[in-house]
Structure 1
Amino acid sequence: MARVVPAVIRALDILELFLDRPELSAREVIERLDLPRTTVHELLVTLVERSYLVVVPGQPVRYRLGMPLFQLGSAFAGRLDLVREAQSVARGVAAACDEAVHVAVLDGADVVYLVKVDSTHPVRMVSGVGLRLPAHCTAVGKVLLADLDRASLNAVLATGPLAGMTPASITDPDRLRAELDRVRADGLAVDMGESDTAMRCVAAAVRDHSGAAVAAMSVSAPIIRWTPQAQPRWTELVRDGADSLSARMGYQRR
């Protein structure tokens, strides 16, 4: 059986540190990965040589991502119909409600955001494409977890304790299972300050030709705009948007 190459794993670990930080110093890489200084130096020099990292001008020991990573990401996105179609639908939903619209997919116990269309309001959600969050703390994540079969859901919940992001986060597995039962019945999930105390979200599933939930779409708004008058309209918009994107993915409602 072929073995993994430790040096490649470490290089990828370094690149993945930049998913939530635009720049990092060599010292920060050493501290976050707990690797020897010499090893990190050699890996950084190699990544810079191949332009996967670039040195920040005027700061020789700080780095940011290079153009080849953008090219690889663009090549992947260009082959992914979901991203292209989701951007189109999300723009329409965002225009109708003037709130942030996201499309995310499940990756293990987390969700990863593929698409974001922001609102025009000065107070808006802090998020972005590529953001990874615990699925059980988000509306999009609960929609996707609710679609898993029992064995798959058990496998996700067995990956470790349910960490909370805010005091409102659901961290008890039994309570989460009950919440997912409600999501299955309603076809919608909400995030009532579970990932960000200042935000509220509602989400619906995006299905492919087989009927499987391949993504979820959400409308997110600050608590100051999450009013009883606005919420039903946003719920209708996210349901219609998810249905529209599902149709583009080949889903036919039975």
Structure 2
Amino acid sequence: MGRLVPAVTRALDILELFLDGDGTLSAPDIVRRLGLPRTTVHELVTTLAARKYIVQVTGQPGRYRLGVRPYQLGSRYAEDLDLAAEGRQVARAVAETCDETVHVAILEDADVIYIAKVDSTHAVRMVSAAGRRLPAHCTSVGKMLLASLPEHELADRVPDGAELPAMTPDSITDPAALRAALTEIRRRGVAVERRESNPDVSCVAAPVRDRTGAVVAALSVSVPMIRWSEERRAELERLAVEGAADLSERLGHRSAV
């Protein structure tokens, strides 16, 4: 592996700060959060603005937001990523069947990133978005993806003794309890999350495989607790499994006969 270029790393660190909060930052914000010298931040911000990676916020001198260039790069990435495009189509079909919110997500480190979302038509629905990042152990898609990892990879992402952040009082925070849950997920082939990422929502998820058989994503159906029941859970598990199988087939996976 080649040497990392410090200036490029710092510029990317600045861009990634815009993923949090309200999406706007000032130079002092960047200095405080990254601990960089003010002159360095000024030079990097000037360069990023000149290349249209960031732009000044209208009416707020000294504050910046992301510019058009990251959008263009992201759009090109999405165009080339069959998983995202096919995921949206499958999610839409599943959502039309059950009229609940459907997500497709991938795993990055110990988090999940949602790459597709289709809302239900109900008045009460999930407040989420494609591109959002959440701790994997708090979500059904995340637990499904963690359960699909080889043991050594799981240990790297969720070490014994790690402090797992809680999103609700029902979130799993103990690595041993998480491993027990993942064992059950492997046995059943589906994951269930009850109020672990949102106190008002439960979800079910199933694995999505590529042509090699590797699990590359998970598809979930999310339901507000007012529409959740064990009978409903069984129905949604079936739809999640069928939707994940459809998406897997679109990615070239062929199930064993």
TM-score, normalization by structure 1: 0.94
Which residue number corresponds to residue 110 of structure 1?
A: 111
Structure 2 Cα separation of the partners of residues 24 and 80 of structure 1? 30
How far off is 1:207 after superposition?
A: 0.7
Secondary structure of the 1:252 match is coil
Please tell me the residue identity of whatever aligns with 1:194: E
Shift of 1:3: 2.1
- Runs in 1 of length 4+ with deviation above 4 angstroms? none
Contact 2:159 2:175 in 1 (8 A): no
Once the two structures are superposed, what CA deviation does each residue of 1:181-213 show, in whole Å capped at 9, x if it has no partner?
110111111111111112111100001112111
- CA drift of 1:34 comes to 2.7
Cα distance in 2 between the residues matched to 1:62 and 1:122: 36
Give % identity.
56
Query: Where does structure 1 lack aligned partners over 5 or more consecutive residues?
Result: none
Give the distance between the partners of 2:83 and 2:3, measured in 1 at CA.
Answer: 33
Give the aligned partner of residue 12 of structure 1.
12
Shift of 1:136: 1.0
Q: Structure 1, residues 96-120: CA drift from partner, whole Å, max 9, x if none?
A: 1222111111111111111111222
Aligned Cα root-mean-square deviation (Å): 1.6
Residues 1:161 and 2:163 aligned together: yes
Q: Which amino acid aligns with 2:11?
A: A
Alignment: residue pair count: 254
Q: Do the aligned partners of 1:19 and 1:131 also contact (CA within 8 Å) in 2?
A: no
Task: Map 1:208-223 onto structure 2 (within 5 A).
Answer: 208-223=210-225
Note the C-alpha offset of 1:229.
4.3
State how far apart, in whole Å, the 2-side matches of 1:10 and 1:124 are. Answer: 38
Long gaps (5+) in structure 2: none
Alignment pair present for 1:39 and 2:40: yes
What does 1:177-216 correspond to in 2, within 5 Å? Answer: 177-216=179-218
Change (3 A) 1:30 1:226: farther
- Structure 1: distance between partners of 2:31 and 2:123: 37
Match of 1:72 in 2: 73
Amino acid at match of 2:18: F
Residues 15-68 of structure 1 show CA distances to partners (whole Å, capped at 9, x for unaligned) of: 111223332233332332232333222221111111000111111212111111
Give the match's secondary structure for 1:12.
Answer: helix
